[in-house]
Amino acid sequence: MTRVFTTGDSLETGVPMPPVAHARFSIGDVVRHRLFDFRGVIFDVDPVFANTEEWYEAIPEDARPAKDQPFYHILAENPDSAYVAYVSQQNLEVDGSDEPVEHPAISGLFDHFAGGRYQLKRVHRH
């Protein structure tokens, strides 16, 4: 019997693979959280959830995002502080303010801000 592979099957095993989520945002994009009052610049992307189970379980069950979507590492700021956030794609939107993010770690990763996004320093590019 001949096995017919379909989209989403692994060629090595013929076992269906989970759908691939596509990242809506890129490194250097300035985003805003949909629910909480903070914005920031993306500095890394995980194609699916890649944090600890303890972190995930600490989120109230009725607000927990699905794990099978991109998650973003963000140099974040709010009116009171600057910090690093880990946020699901469903909870982010483009920040249309065209204002730079005031986070102390930005100068270590990015060269300049133009057109609403940051340019990654050459040394950090793959």
- pLDDT tens digits, 9-34: 455 666 666 666 789 999 999 999 99
Third-level CATH fold of 30-124: SH3 type barrels. (2.30.30)
pTM value is: 0.82
Cβ atoms of 75 and 82 within 8 Å: the answer is yes
Backbone phi, then psi, for 59, in 5-degree steps? -75, 130
Q: Where are the domains of the chain?
A: 30-124
Mean pLDDT across 87-105: 96
**Could you give the CA distance from residue 126 to residue 111 in angstroms, rounded to a whole number?**
16
